[in-house]
Amino acid sequence: MRLIEWLKGEGTGRGFLRDLIFVVLVVGAISAISQITLGVWTPMVAVESGSMDPNMKIGDIVLIQGVSKTNVITWENGETTGHDTFNNPGDVILYRPYGKEKLTLIDQAFHLFLRKPYPPEKATPIIHRALCHVEEGELMWEGGPPAPFSGYITKGDNNTEIDQRAGEILGVVNQKYFHDQQMKGEMISIGKDAYLDKQTGLAFIDMDNETYAVWGINYMMPVRDEWVIGVARLRIPLIGYVRLLPSIVGDEIRDLLS
């Protein structure tokens, strides 16, 4: 009670603290309502690339409904049922590539202002269309390799390749390094015969009795169900530039300084 009485008093510091508490309460309330209604704490994401153009453009804000509140309908099923979203069959999903954790505001601030690299075990979520769902051992594309585990085959509407073909094999992994990383807890299993190296951010996959390092969007692996954050429901043009502008300006300043 003394704190409440103190906050009611006059003074710049007390006024600032009252405003700060109000903002925190409003943001918390909005997040709680979003979690209850949409199944996600932060329901809006800014589009950062042109991979979904023209159906989603850079700077758009997209409203996301969490997977706990809905089902994912793929392009394959959408063509059969007539389910279209954003001018094409099936749903557009937001997912964590290779199961990596999302970048936080602190990660982005350190990158923008202190030039610190992003943590390799984290990544910006991808917003692409779910084409089909494959089971473990099923070919990921016609003539392609079998899926190491079940999940979605995905693609940006403006991309020529599916995500599972958009990348490359970097080489065979040194087994001593692989074993040492496992012993240190730096090698995370992300599915059958698939791993994520927290130190480098690279994904490793076992094929033909060898372990390969792979690089790409979600190269050689389907998107596991638990990597899907939600389904895109609504696009608001241009508003996302408010979120992207600091990064754009920061990149331009770094380019000038270098």
Together in a domain, 25 and 61: no
Pair 78, 92: CB distance under 8 Å: no
Q: Please give the structure tokens belonging to residue 45.
A: 């994401």
77 and 122 both lie in a single domain: yes
Same domain, 134 and 248: yes
DSSP secondary structure string for all residues of 226-240: GGEEEEEEEEESSTT
CATH number at residue 114: 2.10.109.10
Q: What is the pTM of this model?
A: 0.79
**Domain count of the fold of the chain:** 3
Same domain (yes/no): 206, 231: no
As to burial, measured by CB atoms within 10 angstroms (0-12 exposed, 13-18 middle, 19+ buried), residue 157 is: middle
Same domain? For 193 and 255 the reply is: no
Q: Which domain holds residue 171?
A: 167-216
pLDDT digits (tens, 9 = 90+) for 76-95: 999 999 999 999 999 999 99
pLDDT 10s digits, 113-137 = 667 788 899 999 999 999 999 999 9
- pLDDT of 12 higher than 90: no
Q: Are 131 and 5 members of one domain?
A: no
Q: 228 with 256, same domain?
A: yes
Tokens of 82: 């007539």
> Are residue 55 and residue 102 in the same domain, yes or no?
yes
What 3-state DSSP class applies to 170?
strand
Segment 177-190, tens digit of pLDDT: 999 998 999 999 99
Indicate if 79 and 157 belong to the same structural domain.
Answer: yes
pLDDT of residue 197: 95
